A and B are shown apart, each in its own frame.
Chain A
Amino acid sequence: MKNTFVKRLTSGLLVTGLLAASLTGCGGASDKAAGDDTTAQAAGSNAGYRTLDEIKESGTINIGVFSDKSPFGYVDENGEYAGYDVYFAERIGEDLGVDINYVSTEAANRIEYLQTGKVDIILANFTVTEERAQEVDFALPYMNVALGVVSPDDAVVESLDDLGADDEVIVISGTTAETYLTKNYPDIKLQKYDAYAEAKTAFENGNGVAWANDNTEVIAFAIENEGYTVGIPSLGDQDTIAPAVTKGNETLLTWLNDEIKTLGGEQFFHADYEETLLDTYGADYEDELVVEQ
């Protein structure tokens, strides 16, 4: 601990020294200028990404996963990352021959993490959509998904048109459910949360009449928790979930696609399902959820 402490202190001092220099040098205004025209150009070109070779060379890959979305990405009681996405991530690390540094993300941060190069791959149950594909590059899919809505047994919501004017639907900020409802049902009141853990606890506490999210997730919730029914099992388009990399990161994207194809040959994602999701969903959903190339 002591070592890292000293290291952080010195690096912190350096950074802050820079700050002080910039402050006295070019004035406090530099901070405000951050919003001006220079940024417009910078916004277009992303901060950069690490190519496949650079990742291999460094010996570590940064993978963004959820840490509070059981059973896809969560942290178990021993502090280890686990879940369907993580099982895949482990394999990626193994096949690349590098260590994995897991970065805990929230739904709303996923694009941001890729565009600022803070992670190499997002493996956080990331649904492929047209809007997102303009911001990041998706690899081949490894799971099917649609939207679903879960509600308490005593007041099951079977159609979104049934909702009263004051009924609030819980969504998680930055998910496809949020975008879909905002676009298609602008009159429904949304109650938004940052994190999965928060949204689920609020839903359990009865803060909203229903919770809209990926149907995989709401089905899992209804199975694991007594007293809930998935009134709307499929809403909107049938989508897929895929790994994503920073836009333009061709080498990593190609490698990922090849990897997913190879894994398809050995029915890897079925094994993944059986390892991580079987407990929750049983065998019924296996062919419905899993995608192999």
Chain B
Amino acid sequence: MDNLGIDVLFKGTNFIRLLQGLWVSVEISIVSVVISIILGLVVGALMTLEKMWLKVILKIYLEIVRIMPQMVLLFIVYFGTTRVFGWDVSAESAAIFVFSFWGIAEMGDLVRGSIKSIPKIQFESAFALGMDKKQTYFYIILPQTIRRLIPLSINLITRMIKTTSLVMMIGIVEVLKVAQQIIEANRKTSPNAAFGVFAVVFLLYFIVCWPISRLAVYLEKRWA
């Protein structure tokens, strides 16, 4: 009890490596969120179209994302695709792929929801003003949708950052793996390092995610 093992973080470059590990997680999340927002807008717009076959496909897509744990998807993409198609996917691409696959579905569904929530009269007014369908979408519907979506997509960022803790399982050295390495390298000199190091990792995740989710709440209240 005399030593909770926080001191190991100040040895060598340990703490900096921990932060670098965290950056890996954040980077994967941000890239995935950007992709999710861009393609999610497209998929969301597709979801509002009245085409039977499109609806069925998108429904299946959504259901897969809803039911399969991200970890399963990570394994399938990272190991499965190489087995089946012979693709050589790097662990980071696999992670970005899976997170985007998930994020696009979520964003798509949110986009669909917000497009649907825009009163019909706005479409009608726009048409009455002589705008065509494209113009209506681009100038009237999209700007409003995006505004509603921003808080929701910020929320998605925190969820993704949290989920990146899984990428350790496909060999990406992120903050948790660095934590394990530090604990292992210092087992002899500070056997309690597990407490200090995991406590710090816990705190680091919180420090990153909390402000972002507060921002989302704030924007949601302001723009609602």
Q: Do chains A and B touch in the complex (CB under 8 A)?
A: yes
| B contact residues around A1 at 8 Å (CB) | 23
Question: In the complex, are the beta carbons of A11 and B93 less than 8 A apart?
Answer: yes
Choose among A39, A68, A69 the residue that contacts B84 (Cβ–Cβ < 8 A): A39
Question: In the complex, are the beta carbons of B11 and A77 less than 8 A apart?
Answer: yes
* Nearest-Cβ distance from residue A9 to partner chain B, whole angstroms: 5
A15-23, A92-100, A231-239, A258-266: which one contacts chain B? A15-23
Q: Mark B26-63, 1 if CB is under 8 A from A, else 0.
A: 01001110110011001100100000001001101100
A51-59, A182-190, A193-201: which one contacts chain B? A193-201
Q: Mark A92-132, 1 if CB is under 8 A from B, else 0.
A: 00000000000111100100110111100000000000000
Q: Is B17 an interface residue (CB 8 A)?
A: yes
A27-35, A145-153, A269-277: which one contacts chain B? A27-35
| B contact residues around A34 at 8 Å (CB) | 76, 80, 84
Known contacts being A27-B57, A34-B80, A67-B173, is A19 close to B88, with CB within 8 Å? no
Q: Mark A53-78, 1 if CB is under 8 A from B, else 0.
A: 00000000000000111100011111
Q: Is B14 an interface residue (CB 8 A)?
A: yes
User: In the complex, what distance in Å separates the CA atom of A48 from the CA atom of B83?
Assistant: 10
Residues of chain B from 167 to 209 with CB closer than 8 A to chain A in the complex: 169, 171, 173, 177-178, 180-188, 191, 194
Identify the closest chain B residue to A15 (Cβ): B97
Q: Is B64 an interface residue (CB 8 A)?
A: yes
Known contacts being A12-B35, A19-B101, A77-B14, is A116 close to B88, with CB within 8 Å? yes
Identify the closest chain A residue to B58 (Cβ): A28
Question: In the complex, are the beta carbons of B79 and A78 less than 8 A apart?
Answer: no
Question: In the complex, are the beta carbons of A224 and B187 less than 8 A apart?
Answer: yes
Question: In the complex, are the beta carbons of B177 and A67 less than 8 A apart?
Answer: yes
Known contacts being A8-B27, A12-B100, A43-B83, is A194 close to B169, with CB within 8 Å? yes
Identify the closest chain A residue to B60 (Cβ): A28
| B contact residues around A78 at 8 Å (CB) | 12-13
User: In the complex, what distance in Å separates the CA atom of A15 from the CA atom of B99?
Assistant: 12
Residues of chain B from 75 to 127 with CB closer than 8 A to chain A in the complex: 76, 79-80, 82-88, 91-93, 96-97, 100-101, 104
Identify the closest chain B residue to A105 (Cβ): B171
For chain A, the count of residues having a C-beta within 8 Å of the partner chain is: 56
User: In the complex, what distance in Å separates the CA atom of A277 from the CA atom of B210?
Assistant: 44
Identify the closest chain B residue to A13 (Cβ): B35
Question: In the complex, are the beta carbons of A29 and B88 less than 8 A apart?
Answer: no
**Which DSSP category, helix, strand, loop or mixed, fits chain B's interface?**
helix
Known contacts being A8-B27, A47-B83, is A103 close to B12, with CB within 8 Å? no
User: In the complex, what distance in Å separates the CA atom of A113 from the CA atom of B11?
Assistant: 32
| A contact residues around B178 at 8 Å (CB) | 75
Question: In the complex, are the beta carbons of A70 and B187 less than 8 A apart?
Answer: yes
Identify the closest chain B residue to A8 (Cβ): B31
Q: Is A79 an interface residue (CB 8 A)?
A: yes
Identify the closest chain B residue to A109 (Cβ): B171
Known contacts being A11-B93, A196-B184, is A225 close to B191, with CB within 8 Å? yes
Q: Is A178 an interface residue (CB 8 A)?
A: no
* Nearest-Cβ distance from residue B26 to partner chain A, whole angstroms: 11
Q: Is A3 an interface residue (CB 8 A)?
A: no
* Nearest-Cβ distance from residue B55 to partner chain A, whole angstroms: 11
Question: In the complex, are the beta carbons of B180 and A195 less than 8 A apart?
Answer: yes
Question: In the complex, are the beta carbons of B88 and A197 less than 8 A apart?
Answer: no
Question: In the complex, are the beta carbons of B181 and A67 less than 8 A apart?
Answer: yes
User: In the complex, what distance in Å separates the CA atom of A31 from the CA atom of B188?
Assistant: 47
Query: 12 other contacts beyond A47-B82, A48-B86, with CB at 8 A cut-off?
Result: A12-B31, A16-B101, A23-B61, A24-B46, A24-B57, A43-B83, A67-B177, A68-B183, A74-B181, A103-B171, A116-B82, A117-B82
Of the A-B pairs whose beta carbons lie under 8 Å apart in the complex, a sample of 27, sorted by A's number, is A5-B27, A8-B31, A9-B31, A16-B96, A16-B101, A20-B104, A24-B46, A28-B57, A28-B60, A28-B61, A34-B76, A34-B84, A38-B84, A39-B83, A42-B84, A42-B85, A43-B84, A47-B86, A70-B185, A77-B11, A77-B12, A78-B13, A79-B12, A109-B171, A117-B82, A200-B184, A204-B191
